[in-house]
Structure 1
Amino acid sequence: MKSFVGLQVVLLVIFLTGCKCKEIEKVDYTDAKSSLLAQMDPLIYDPEVRPHLISGTPEVVAVGIEIDTFSEISVAKMDFTAEIYLRQYWMDPRLADNGSFGLPISLTASETVSSIWKPDLYFLNEKSAKLHSVPSPNILLRIWPTGQILYSQRLSLTIGCQFDFFNFPMDVQICKLEMQSYAYSTDDLHFRWHEPPIDFRKSDLNFPEFELIDIEVDKSIEEHQATGNYSRLIVAVRIKRDSRPYIINIYVPSTVVVILSFMSMWIDPRAVPARVTIGIITVLTTMTQSVNIQQELPKVSYVKAVDVWLAACLVFVVGAMLQYALVNVLLQREADRNKKEPHHAVNRVNPEALSMTDTPAPLVSYWSPGKVDMFGRVVFFVGFAVFNLFYWLFYVLL
């Protein structure tokens, strides 16, 4: 019984000691935070002055990016939208020894965060940017007793990207995110990558129309500008367009239209309405496809792969229509010759009956309408097959 009571007393002492330690930790953290805020007093801390200005050494800021999503890639506007967590690390000796007993102090209030010096990093090719503020501003300032600082922000960025549409729609694009200081040259500030520089999960990054190949970072480079040399960081996002929707919606229908124009060569040449209708419909369909594609893409000064395809399809369908024009001319000549043959037959019986105004019968042309149609069937089909071979070899495999 006595041992049981003794055990209860020991457990009670341990419980009270633990509670007291937690209260002490809470008091210590509160005191440390108050001490840190006192160090950030505007009377003794100037947020406009960088930490190592007096010593003359440049600030070294490590940058890390966590990519959350790519929400939109606009081909017409030539930009993409991404949600990222931007994290910057640097040392500020003025905020060291803040009495935080070895633990970092986190600050989230906008007024407090704005009261210390921060790097003026900006995105060179940014079109628009937004700091998330629901339910509160998504910012974090974490300060260690050593003076190390972490500044984290959650941003939505719309970044311009110079797309190259030469191989469209089998193209691979490289979109860059470029960052540098706006006011501080390399004499005052250097950017470098934190480890790891880029954090993302490839399976979570779903692109409309595109497939992510890789995300790479370039080493910190110095960029010369009129006001000095500036430290710059670059993130390169390599994406490949999913060409399957374009094959289904453009290449397959246009191929069917071209083959349909060739099939008219199997129709009786005397069926003029049928062959002319097929020719006109195939030409108009190909031209409509070309116009619709041009409306979806920005105007560029070079020829795209899809332009070559549609132009070739237009050449083939127009060629099929011109082929029937030749067949129709031969039909007319054949009809005229058949009308004159009885008259010339009589004249051959009585040669003296020929007058000076009579003309001899035209020679029978080797190229009859039937032979022209047979020749066209072979030439057009073989020509279209050869074009396909070279087209796909050039734009896909090479």
Structure 2
Amino acid sequence: MRFRITSASKVFLEFNFTSSSVTNFGNELLVEYTVGKLELVKDESRMYSEVWVRVPLKRLASYAVLNIYMPTLVLLVVDYFTLFFRPSIFDVRMMAALTVQLVIATLFSQVSASLPKTSYFKMVDVWLIFCIGITFLTIIFHVLVDACLYSEPKDAVVVVSLKSFGDSTKKRKSGRGEGGSFCSSKPGDRMVLWSKIIVAGVFVIFNLTYWIYILA
């Protein structure tokens, strides 16, 4: 805030800066900010006597944590748990992952609209972009797991075990069935395991770097 005496120049009238003070009688806690200590700043560079009231505002961390970080963190946990679904239910895994990504993208647009416009990336923008990126990585792994488990190699052979009414057990080999051959479970199991490790590793490495940079 700026106060100026316009009835006469500062040669005739000026603020008594030494005996002046400013006090905030309102609530210091706002919705997104907290009001700091007010201070007076004298300006002698102009024709008229002026004094500035500097009002420092500090953004509340609790607002961002409750409205941005906590909801996205819960969504990321749901997205990661889709990797533990049975690989056979591909539609359910993809639908859950795509729903999480859609919700995060909607939250990103709402947060960007409520924050001040800047030409640089804010830390909140970096966090939300990472959330969209890691959900996209999860979707890629779902596709890779499904492609590995249900691939149809030309020379695929399915081993079927037949147990008779007696004590003997017979095995016979058959070609590809009507629904497509099911490849060996070992590559599919390794892909599922590596998808869990990679997504969790990317999340941990990014969070360590992100929060160390913010809190340092």
SS of 1:195's equivalent in the other structure is coil
Aligned counterparts, 1:16-95, within 5 A: none
Q: State the percentage of identical aligned residues.
A: 23
* Aligned residue in 2 for 1:289: 107
Partner in structure 1 of residue 172 of structure 2: none
Q: Which residue of 2 aligns with 1:300?
A: 118
Q: Is the alpha carbon distance of 1:180 and 1:196 closer, same or farther for their aligned partners in structure 2, counting shifts above 3 Å?
A: closer
Give 2:93's aligned residue.
275
Shift of 1:215: 1.3
Q: Which residue of 2 aligns with 1:197?
A: 21
The superposition leaves residues 128-177 of structure 1 with CA deviations (integer Å, 9 ceiling, x where unpaired) of xxxxxxxxxxxxxxxxxxxxxxxxxxxxxxxxxxxxxxxxxxxxxxxxx2
Aligned partner of 1:383 among 187, 192, 202: 202
CA contact (8 A) 2:23 2:38 kept: no
1:213 alignment counterpart:
36
Determine the C-alpha separation between the residues in 2 that align with 1:315 and 1:185: 60
Q: Give 1:191's aligned amino acid.
A: F
Q: CA deviation at 1:389?
A: 2.2
So what's the TM-score if we normalise by structure 1?
0.43
CA contact (8 A) 2:90 2:142 kept: no
Cα deviation digits, residues 5-41 of structure 1 (max 9, x gap): xxxxxxxxxxxxxxxxxxxxxxxxxxxxxxxxxxxxx
Counterpart contact for 2:28–2:36, Cα < 8 Å: no
RMSD over aligned CA atoms reads 2.6
1:377 Cα shift?
A: 1.1
Give the structure with the higher percent strand.
Answer: 1
CA displacement at 1:320 relative to structure 2: 0.5
Could you say what secondary structure the match of 1:293 adopts? helix
Conserved 8 A contact 2:148-2:188: yes
TM-score computed with the length of structure 2 as normaliser: 0.75
Matched letter for residue 251 of structure 1:
Y
- Which structure has the larger Rg? 1
Is the counterpart of residue 341 in structure 1 residue 156 in structure 2?
A: yes
Partner of 2:45: 223
Query: How many residues of Structure 1 are paired with residues of Structure 2 in the alignment?
Result: 190
What CA distance in whole angstroms lies between the structure 1 residues aligned with 2:48 and 2:122? 37
Deviation of 1:237 (Å): 1.5
Q: Partners of 1:394 and 1:377 in 2: how far apart?
A: 26
The verdict on how the C-alpha distance between 1:280 and 1:199 changes in structure 2, with shifts beyond 3 A counting, is closer
